[in-house]
């Protein structure tokens, strides 16, 4: 009940915006811009013929593959760079140059290397989400408080115990933050990548709706669905932040 | 009694913008096996540096630390340092913290040993709690228990109770004495609290302002349990405080 009360202002604002949108379309007698109701019927149409689920699944699979690959590379690499000063000094400058390059700029090269199949968007998602996760993981290792490392040194534990019981758990909250950022970027990039050369996915769905007869109701339906899925992906990562592996960091 | 720790002509400087800054200058000290030594001195005098060298975390510029006849060059679990900020791992439970330093035991044994020490320091029922669920006093108990679990020959304690309120600090002192009566560890305690030193120690070493030297050493010839309000204890307190440069009239006694 209290939660609903908290959400009330936001819900009210959304209602006001939809009303304003509707009013504006009605007042201008636009023939091309859809009303909210057009968007609803458009969405139902997509649901009925099954294309919506197909596009959502395609986008999620690409994000899953690219992001999963990025996690597998970024976490060990970040741990290594955080722990070994030489690795950090060697790799960090290169990453700092590559990181600000927009994933969109990689599109021509992705097509050149991987063609127009699924590999291109997966590569773009990988490229866009790997860097924030490497940076966060490395920073996580660098910010482990010295007192904990000293305590571990004092007890003379094995390297294995040091990593399993001190380094990894100390870094985990930062890794999860990196994953949250990475997944957010990945979801942004998949839509852009799908607009270029593919024949499935929510990005393609939006471009196709525009090209095949100016179906702006479907364009807006696609946008809203992208927003809602992005929100639920982020909420999932937030749940990870609340688990026992990360909770100690935020509880005081 | 046998000599446990022998500190010989220890020196340490740190680099600063204005050249080397001497922090510890020519400290020599012999600690007997099972003895409780309190180190008192003005803040910033280099007490912590001295203790860090004895625990093996910092290498001295000159001089040596001999423990059981062997030169100490690096930290190990025979001498556990309990620092002021504390280092209980917040991502592990109390039990996991206590099990941390136990090598070469089977898991059920580790659990049993950990739970035994949790009981000794009065943490029974909190074995599955995390640091953020504990009070300051309980954190200190966890830290102490984690050190005791590995049966260290030496406890190095750097102002362990200074962050606690007066009542909790007093309670922790009594706990410590109770535990030490059972498991006789050689103990070095840094404190700025002269009463704490008199309450706990066999000998009180007064250190000078930086660069630190040993200025005076006092025996505490009072039987445990000690009453701090006793004449002897009060006189010793005044003597040590005046050695630290606190004038008698400032003491209000």
Alpha carbon distance B160, B84 (integer Å) = 5
> Cβ of A150 and B150 within 8 Å?
no
pLDDT at residue A67 is higher than 90: yes
Q: What is the pLDDT at residue A20?
A: 95
> Nearest CA to B188 among B67, B79, B64?
B79
Spatial CB neighbours of A41, under 8 Å, sequence gap ≥ 6? A217
Nearest CB to B132 within list A154, A158, A248:
A248
B107 contacts chain A (CB < 8 A) = no
Residue in A with minimal Cα distance to B143: A151
Nearest CB to B87 within list A147, A158, A252:
A147
Q: What is the pLDDT at residue B252?
A: 58
Structural domain boundaries in chain A: 40-250
Q: What is the pLDDT at residue B249?
A: 64
Q: What is the pLDDT at residue A54?
A: 92
> Cβ of A150 and B86 within 8 Å?
no
- CB contacts of A248 in chain B (<8 Å) are 90-91, 130-132
Q: What is the DSSP string of A63-76?
A: HHHHHHHHHHHHHH
Q: How many CB pairs under 8 A join A and B?
A: 61
Q: What is the pLDDT at residue A241?
A: 85
Read off φ and ψ for residue B132, nearest 5 degrees.
-70, -5
CA distance B157 to chain A (A): 13
Residue in A with minimal Cα distance to B98: A155
Find the mean pLDDT for residues A6-33.
91
Nearest CB to A155 within list B85, B130, B150:
B150
> Cβ of A166 and B89 within 8 Å?
yes
Question: Any idea which fold A40-250 has?
Answer: MetI-like fold (1.10.3720)
- CB contacts of A172 in chain B (<8 Å) are 91
Question: Any idea which fold B3-78+153-251 has?
Answer: Rossmann fold (3.40.50)
* Residues B41-82: tens digit of each pLDDT: 888 778 889 999 999 999 999 999 999 989 888 998 899 999
pLDDT at residue B186 is higher than 90: yes
Find the mean pLDDT for residues B115-143.
89
- CB contacts of A161 in chain B (<8 Å) are 100, 103
* Residues A114-138: tens digit of each pLDDT: 988 889 999 999 999 999 999 999 9
A250 contacts chain B (CB < 8 A) = no
How large a percentage of chain B has pLDDT more than 90?
43
> Cβ of B55 and A154 within 8 Å?
yes
**DSSP 8-class letter at B190:** E
Q: What is the DSSP string of A238-249?
A: HHHHTSHHHHHH
> Cβ of A154 and B75 within 8 Å?
yes
> Cβ of A156 and B77 within 8 Å?
yes
* Residues A188-214: tens digit of each pLDDT: 999 888 887 678 999 999 999 888 878
The question of ipTM being above 0.85 is answered as yes
CA distance B87 to chain A (A): 5
Q: What is the pLDDT at residue A197?
A: 66
> Cβ of A157 and B90 within 8 Å?
no
In the block, tokens 């741990």 appear at A79
A160 contacts chain B (CB < 8 A) = no
Q: What is the pLDDT at residue A232?
A: 95
Residue in B with minimal Cα distance to A147: B87
pLDDT at residue B111 is higher than 60: yes
Q: Find the helix or strand (DSSP H, E) in which B216 lies.
A: strand B214-219
Structural domain boundaries in chain B: 3-78+153-251, 90-151
Buried b or exposed e, range B131-164, using 16+ CB within 10 angstroms: beebeebbbbbbbbbbbbbbebbbbbbbbbbeeb
Q: What is the pLDDT at residue B63?
A: 92
Q: How confident is the model at residue B197 (pLDDT cuts 50, 70, 90)?
A: very high
pLDDT at residue B17 is higher than 80: yes
Strand order in the sheet with B62-67: B19-32, B3-16, B62-67, B70-71
| Higher per-residue pLDDT: B94 or A2 | B94
> Cβ of A169 and B91 within 8 Å?
yes
Q: What is the pLDDT at residue A30?
A: 84
* Residues A31-66: tens digit of each pLDDT: 889 999 999 999 998 899 888 999 999 999 999 999
Nearest CB to A157 within list B57, B103, B131:
B103
> Nearest CA to A186 among A133, A115, A117, A243?
A133
CB A124 within 8 A of CB A186: no
Q: What is the pLDDT at residue A246?
A: 78
CB B196 within 8 A of CB B233: no
> Cβ of B100 and A165 within 8 Å?
yes
Q: What is the pLDDT at residue B160?
A: 87
B229 contacts chain A (CB < 8 A) = no
Q: What is the pLDDT at residue B211?
A: 87
Q: What is the pLDDT at residue A175?
A: 93
Q: Return the residue in B76, B91, B144 with the most chain A beta carbons within 10 A, the one to mutate for interface testing.
A: B91
pLDDT at residue A184 is higher than 90: yes
B63 contacts chain A (CB < 8 A) = no
Q: What is the DSSP string of A43-60?
A: HHHHHHTTHHHHHHHHHH
């Amino acid at each position: 009940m209290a939660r609903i009360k908290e959400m009330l202002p936001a819900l009210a604002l959304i209602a006001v915006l939809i009303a304003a949108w509707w009013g504006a379309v009605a007042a201008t007698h636009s023939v091309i811009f859809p009303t909210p109701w057009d968007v609803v019927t458009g969405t139902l149409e997509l649901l009925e013929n099954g294309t919506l689920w197909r596009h959502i699944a395609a986008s999620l699979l690409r994000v899953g593959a690219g992001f999963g690959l990025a996690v597998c590379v970024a976490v060990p690499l970040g741990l290594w760079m955080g722990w070994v000063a030489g690795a950090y000094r060697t790799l960090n400058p290169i990453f700092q140059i590559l990181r600000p390059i927009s994933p969109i700029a990689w599109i021509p090269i992705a097509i050149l290397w991987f063609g127009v199949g699924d590999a291109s968007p997966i590569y773009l998602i990988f490229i866009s989400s790997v860097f924030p996760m490497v940076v966060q993981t490395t920073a996580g290792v660098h910010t482990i408080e010295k007192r904990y490392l000293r305590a571990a040194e004092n007890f003379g534990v094995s390297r294995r115990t040091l990593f399993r019981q001190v380094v990894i758990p100390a870094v985990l909250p930062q890794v999860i933050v990196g994953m949250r950022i990475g997944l957010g970027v990945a979801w942004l990039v998949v839509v852009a990548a799908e607009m270029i050369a593919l024949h499935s996915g929510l990005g393609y769905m939006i471009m196709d709706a525009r090209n095949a007869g100016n179906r702006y109701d479907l364009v807006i339906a696609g946008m809203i669905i992208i927003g809602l899925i992005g929100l639920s992906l982020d909420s999932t990562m937030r749940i990870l932040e609340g688990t026992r592996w990360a909770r100690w960091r935020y509880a005081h | 009694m046998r000599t446990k720790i022998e500190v010989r002509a220890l020196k340490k400087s740190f680099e600063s913008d204005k050249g080397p800054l001497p922090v510890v200058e020519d400290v020599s000290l012999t600690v007997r096996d099972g003895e409780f030594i309190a180190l008192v001195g003005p803040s910033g005098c280099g007490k912590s540096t001295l203790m860090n060298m004895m625990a093996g975390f910092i290498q001295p510029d000159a001089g040596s630390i001999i423990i059981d006849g062997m030169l100490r060059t690096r930290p190990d679990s025979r001498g556990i340092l309990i620092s002021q900020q504390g280092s209980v791992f917040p991502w592990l439970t109390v039990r996991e913290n206590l099990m941390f330093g136990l090598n070469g035991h089977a898991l059920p044994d580790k659990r049993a040993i950990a739970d035994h020490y949790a009981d000794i320091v009065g943490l029974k029922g909190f074995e599955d709690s995390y640091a953020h669920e504990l009070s300051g006093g309980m954190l200190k108990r966890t830290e102490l228990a984690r050190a005791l679990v590995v049966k260290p020959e030496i406890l190095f304690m750097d102002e362990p109770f200074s962050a606690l309120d007066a009542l909790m600090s007093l309670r922790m002192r009594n706990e410590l004495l109770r535990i030490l009566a059972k498991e006789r560890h050689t103990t070095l305690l840094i404190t700025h609290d002269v009463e704490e030193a008199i309450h706990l120690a066999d000998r009180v070493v007064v250190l000078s302002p930086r660069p630190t030297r040993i200025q005076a050493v006092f025996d505490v010839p009072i039987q445990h349990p000690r009453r701090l309000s006793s004449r002897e204890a009060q006189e010793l307190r005044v003597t040590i405080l005046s050695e630290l440069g606190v004038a008698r009239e400032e003491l209000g006694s």
